[in-house]
Amino acid sequence: MAKLIINEKNKKGHINAEIYGHFSEHLGRCIYEGLYVGENSEIPNVNGMRKDVVDALKEMKIPVLRWPGGCFADEYHWKDGIGPKETRKKMINTHWGGVVEDNSFGTHEFFELCEQLGCKTYVNGNVGSGTVQEMSEWVEYITFEGVSPMADLRKENGHEKPWKIDYFGVGNENWGCGGNMTPEYYGNLYRRFQTYVRQYNKENKVQKICCGANVADYAWTEDVLKTCFAHPSNPASHGNMDGLSLHYYVHPGGWDKKGSATQFDTATWYKTLERADYMDELITRHGAIMDQYDPDKKIGMMVDEWGCWFDVEPGTNPGFLYQQNTMRDALVAGHTLNIFNRHCDRVKMACIAQMVNVLQSVILTEGPKMVLTPTYHVFHMYKNHQDAELLDSFIEGNGLVGEGECQVPHVSESVSVDAQGYVNVTLSNLSVSEDMPMEISFNELNPSSVEASILTGAMNAHNTFEDPECVKECQFIDFKAEDGKIVFTIPACSVISFRVK
Ligand code: AHR
């Protein structure tokens, strides 16, 4: 039996709600069809936003949404997406499938969506093919209240009051699709572009995010920080950044052999989870470089793209990145979110890619139909960690499971206490075949109220439009709570969450 020991007296840090964030790009059927169907659609909508999708995302407690990309962001010219829809410019989405982008979803629609979702906003600006003036004017258009050319234009377009930008990304993947830059070159551009991301509302500060590394490119982190922190005239500028991004996708067979999202063997199961577990090392090592410049951890590590990236579903547009989502994705999500929680001193935001119909989505749609994926249920089961305090925890007797060289912890955990005083425990059993008998013990807490839910199924179980509830969160009652302990067995291939008082 493994023992989860919780020391509820030792609070280890605040779990930013934004760790549970999402990403929506103009890619495939994420924005169009997935989120936005237009006011005239037969699919029930509010101001063009799908009602079923918005309701499900609210129920999951989405904290922040990143938009418009991704690679798309560095080709996006925001003025094409404002004003009367009939006159908006049409363009080719060169990155994603070469389809026509009619710009009917633009700035006003994004803020309308975030208002409906009740979530924070993360706008990603264009450094790769845009100008400083264009970026600066976008921020003015969105956030300036007084009289100015851009604020006046916003009012002419029907929005009197400014909106709030919570986070602003100064470019995306500028080491790759965002301009193929060197770290020194980008670092200098960051210094210049961010200067004109003005703080028009002192109470609602825009948090600026600098483009960080791809996977294990530690030299990028080092060189960008060195360039941004080199401020002889203003040493207090602290790199002029609130966040530094990190992108990491899980491909079990490598970039060229991603493999099917639903057809895989147990060796691929463990390879996938081993690749997911690598997130821990990436955060630790990039974090160690950040510590040299920012020992007080004022700058957040923003893992604003993460998740599984498999082959597209057979017969679908390869440029649309549409993939199914199984219990394997659920375990990747459960384990990764536990890793983020445990690194909450440095990781301040994370956005799974992407929210609807693209890569590791929480929601899939087909016409008027919608299914919640296993990943959705994990986010729902973990939602009480948002804005809670991480607690000290350790699993005694937790072995490794796997095949060959791919070994991962049998059970992954994180524990927090929320504002209502509930202790939230999330556990993921990464074994495809071995259950784990467990006991949870606390330092002082003698539980009087215990509620739990479980997500479990065969390793490649998934929800389809014909069978939308094959995998779903269920109440878990198979535990005993006595003598201050909770005793139960976590089945193989499952995620459990406890809420204890
Ligand atoms: O999420 C899909 C793509 O992956 C994004 O556009 C890009 O930033 C990353 O390479």
Q: Encode pLDDT of 13-24 as tens digits.
A: 999 999 999 999
What atom in ligand 1 is closest to the CA of residue 354? 1
For position 252, what pLDDT does the model report?
94
CA of 411 to the centre of ligand 1 (A): 30
Q: Average pLDDT for residues 183-200, to the nearest whole number? A: 97
CA of 71 to the centre of ligand 1 (A): 6
Rg for the chain, CA atoms, rounded: 22
CA of 312 to the centre of ligand 1 (A): 14
State pLDDT tens for residues 280-330: 999 999 999 999 999 999 999 999 999 999 999 999 999 999 999 999 999
Q: Which residue's alpha carbon is at the smallest distance from atom 3 of ligand 1?
A: 70
State pLDDT tens for residues 2-14: 999 999 999 999 9
Select which of 137, 305, 413, 473 is catalytic.
305
Q: Work out the pLDDT band at 443, boundaries 50, 70, 90.
A: very high
Q: Which residue's alpha carbon is at the smallest distance from atom 7 of ligand 1?
A: 70
What atom in ligand 1 is closest to the CA of residue 249? 4
What atom in ligand 1 is closest to the CA of residue 25? 6
Whether 389 sits among the annotated catalytic residues: the reply is no
Ligand 1 is surrounded, with C-beta below 6 A, by 25, 69-71, 172-173, 305, 353-354, 359
What atom in ligand 1 is closest to the CA of residue 353? 1
At residue 202, what is the residue type?
A: K
* Cα(357)–Cα(198) distance, integer angstroms: 34
For position 232, what pLDDT does the model report?
64
Q: What percent of the chain has pLDDT over 70?
A: 100
The residues that bridge with 486 in the sheet, in sequence order, are: 440, 481
What atom in ligand 1 is closest to the CA of residue 178? 8
CA of 70 to the centre of ligand 1 (A): 5
For position 203, what pLDDT does the model report?
87
Q: Work out the pLDDT band at 119, boundaries 50, 70, 90.
A: very high
Spatial CB neighbours of 31, under 8 Å, sequence gap ≥ 6: 24, 25, 68, 105
Q: Which residue's alpha carbon is at the smallest distance from atom 2 of ligand 1?
A: 70
Ligand 1 pocket test: which of 75, 305, 359 has the largest number of ligand atoms within 8 Å of its C-beta? Answer: 305
Ligand 1 pocket test: which of 173, 209, 250, 306 has the largest number of ligand atoms within 8 Å of its C-beta? Answer: 173
* Structural tokens at position 41: 């659609």
For position 270, what pLDDT does the model report?
98
What atom in ligand 1 is closest to the CA of residue 72? 6
Q: Average pLDDT for residues 264-277, to the nearest whole number? A: 97
Ligand 1 pocket test: which of 22, 23, 24, 25 has the largest number of ligand atoms within 8 Å of its C-beta? Answer: 25
CA of 151 to the centre of ligand 1 (A): 31
* 231 vs 248: which has the higher pLDDT: 248
Q: Work out the pLDDT band at 236, boundaries 50, 70, 90.
A: confident
Preceding omega of 397 cis (within 30 degrees of 0):
no
Q: Number of C-alpha atoms within 13 angstroms, CB side, residue 405?
A: 1
* Cα(406)–Cα(415) distance, integer angstroms: 26
What is residue 24's DSSP assignment? -
pLDDT at 235 over 80: no
pLDDT at 485 over 80: yes
Q: Work out the pLDDT band at 346, boundaries 50, 70, 90.
A: very high
Q: Average pLDDT for residues 80-98, to the nearest whole number? A: 95
Of 284-288, 370-374, 443-447, the least confident: 443-447
For position 276, what pLDDT does the model report?
98
Whether 305 sits among the annotated catalytic residues: the reply is yes
Select which of 109, 173, 389, 473 is catalytic.
173
Spatial CB neighbours of 425, under 8 Å, sequence gap ≥ 6: 4, 6, 393, 413, 414, 415, 440, 497, 498, 500
Q: Work out the pLDDT band at 463, boundaries 50, 70, 90.
A: very high
CA of 89 to the centre of ligand 1 (A): 24
Q: Which residue's alpha carbon is at the smallest distance from atom 8 of ligand 1?
A: 70
CA of 448 to the centre of ligand 1 (A): 46
Contact 321/305 with Cβ under 8 angstroms? Answer: no
Pairing state of beta strands 167-170 and 207-214? Answer: parallel
